[in-house]
Amino acid sequence: MVSDMKIQIYGAGMAGSYLYMLLSEEFDVTVKDTRKKPDCRCAWGTMHSEAKKLYKEIEINLDEFILVKPKYAIANGIKIKNKNVVIFDRKRLLEELWSQIKFGDTKADIIVDATGYKRALLPKLNDKLYPTIQTIEEHDVEENIYAYGRKTGYAWAFPLGDNKWHIGAGDVNERRAQELIEILRQKYGFNETQKICSCKSKIRLLPPSKCRPFIYKNIVGVGEAIGCVSGFGEGNAPSLLSAKILAECLTSNSLDEYEKRILGEFKWIEEEHEFVESVQNGKKLKILLKIPKVMAIEKNRSVEYSIKDLLQLIRTLR
């Protein structure tokens, strides 16, 4: 241990467990989670290049956890090429990290709120939390990512290999999320079947700029607690990156730069949220102005589509 500063992390999800691994050689770090084991919620899609690079820093080879690399993503019937999205065994990866974490609850100099959508320690926000429902089921369907969306939410089917699938949806309320799942089933042939497991969660759809403060007294937030989730619900790799930024600020004793660095790094998240809001509010001019930016962001991160595909997709959103 290089420093005698004590750090207590609350939440051992994507951000908290990664942050522990980055900090534990330098500081006295303990972690507390309200769960007994990592959650198995369906959030198993991630951006391969970015997540692989970040996990490499803690000597984890992401490729050992990859289940499927789907060739296509099919959204409202429109088929687009997948460039970088992989489905990984998030639960097994978290279990691997948990086996190395020192769990405990100690009096610390710095407290980290890594409690995801709960944001259990930082001041409450004027929040936008969408409920999600999800199941694991068996289906014999070609291994692509399938989605069915409308303006306020979408349903998805992610292949997990061996004919297993995560089926889920998020929308402004559970009833609408359930409706979306029913449409997805009909559209792509995921007939109602026995569920291997099912659960519910929530997702924060507010960008970082609307999740301030990031720091309050000796509490500092990371991951979804400070809005590191894209407008389309991508939060795994952003949570890791936010933890890396926090680790760098703590090790270089420059916590005062943390907010600026997060807001700078995640400008693309702000862009995506603005785009989604314009679509939801039917702001045609704003949508057109944002399209090139959003296409460039997604081409770089995840999937590649043409303007024609995107406009067609927007037209199908009810």
Ligand X SMILES: Cc1cc2nc3c(=O)[nH]c(=O)nc-3n(C[C@H](O)[C@H](O)[C@H](O)COP(=O)(O)OP(=O)(O)OC[C@H]3O[C@@H](n4cnc5c(N)ncnc54)[C@H](O)[C@@H]3O)c2cc1C
Residues in contact with ligand X by CB under 6 A are 10-16, 32-35, 39, 41-46, 114-116, 118, 120, 132, 134, 168, 201, 203, 223-225, 229, 233-236, 239
Nearer to ligand X among residue 70 and residue 313 (C-beta)? 70
For residue 224, which amino acid is it?
A: E
d(CA 166, CA 282): 31
Nearer to ligand X among residue 119 and residue 290 (C-beta)? 119
In the bound complex, what is the minimum distance in angstroms from residue 90's beta carbon to ligand X? 8
In the bound complex, what is the minimum distance in angstroms from residue 112's beta carbon to ligand X? 10
**CB-CB neighbours of 255 under 10 Å:** 14
Angle at 256 between CA 253 and CA 262, to 5 degrees: 105
Nearer to ligand X among residue 242 and residue 278 (C-beta)? 242
Strands 78-82, 129-138: pairing kind: unpaired
In the bound complex, what is the minimum distance in angstroms from residue 216's beta carbon to ligand X? 15
Nearer to ligand X among residue 147 and residue 287 (C-beta)? 147
In the bound complex, what is the minimum distance in angstroms from residue 14's beta carbon to ligand X? 4
Residues found in the chain? 318
In the bound complex, what is the minimum distance in angstroms from residue 193's beta carbon to ligand X? 19
In the bound complex, what is the minimum distance in angstroms from residue 227's beta carbon to ligand X? 10
Nearer to ligand X among residue 43 and residue 110 (C-beta)? 43
d(CA 234, CA 243): 15
Strands 85-88, 45-47: pairing kind: antiparallel
Which of 24, 89, 38 lies closest to 62, judged by CA?
A: 89
Please check whether residue 85 is in contact with residue 144, taking contact to mean a CB–CB distance below 8 angstroms: no
Please check whether residue 156 is in contact with residue 169, taking contact to mean a CB–CB distance below 8 angstroms: yes
At 304 the three-state DSSP class reads strand
Nearer to ligand X among residue 42 and residue 313 (C-beta)? 42
* β partners of residue 197: 136
